[in-house]
Amino acid sequence: MSDDIAKIVLETKQIADITVCKGNLRFKCKRCAIFCCKLGGPTLAENDVQRIKEAGYVNDNVLETSARNISRHASMTQSRLRKREDGSCVFLKFNERLKAYECSIYDVRPALCRIYPFDFERINSNSLMLKFIPCCRGLNDPDGELIDKKFIAKYLLDAIFEIL
């Protein structure tokens, strides 16, 4: 099964067109953190570093720098959030009352976290293919939100522009 979801055509930092190629895919986060926040700290885009710093969260205990840039996306830096010994991101916490995982910097979380469980690949200079990351448990949940143009515009586009 292809993991392609939609072709997005750009026009100088604006969307010219979105063509959805997988019509009935739904998503609802289970807050399990298994295939996202427990897999190490995310790499940060340039805007992430500034935003998290302005919110007062950045210090030597939360950021680490890789020797080289490991991301294929242009705006990603060599910085990433640190992980704990068990591999979970330093900002992951468990809400005992809700029995669910939460991000303690949710409002300023990195762009990669905001697009998860989706990713994209450049097709050419003005278009990209949105893809899903198949292992996430929230995909194909019948109670989830339909991943259509509205979903993509509402939840994903701002973060995609930060990563591009």
Which residues are near ligand SF4 by CB under 6 A? 29-37, 42, 81, 89, 91-92, 103, 105, 109-110, 113, 116-117, 136-138
Tokens coding 47:
């805007």
Q: Which residues contact 134 (CB under 8 A, 6 or more apart)?
A: 3
**Residue 70 beta carbon to ligand SF4: minimum distance, rounded to whole angstroms:** 16
Residue 61, number of CB atoms within 10 A of its CB? 9
**Helices of type H across 72-154:** 111-115, 149-151
The residue (of 10 and 83) whose beta carbon lies closer to ligand SF4 is 83
The residue (of 63 and 105) whose beta carbon lies closer to ligand SF4 is 105
The residue (of 36 and 128) whose beta carbon lies closer to ligand SF4 is 36
**Residue 7 beta carbon to ligand SF4: minimum distance, rounded to whole angstroms:** 23
Please report, as a single letter, which amino acid is at residue 3.
Answer: D
Angle 60-66-3 (CA atoms, 0-180°, nearest 5)? 115
**Residue 141 beta carbon to ligand SF4: minimum distance, rounded to whole angstroms:** 8
The residue (of 34 and 153) whose beta carbon lies closer to ligand SF4 is 34
Q: How many CA atoms lie within 13 A of 118 on its CB side?
A: 26
The residue (of 10 and 118) whose beta carbon lies closer to ligand SF4 is 118
**Residue 69 beta carbon to ligand SF4: minimum distance, rounded to whole angstroms:** 19
**Residue 35 beta carbon to ligand SF4: minimum distance, rounded to whole angstroms:** 4
CA distances from 164 to 49, 51, 57, 72, 90 (A): 15, 17, 24, 10, 25
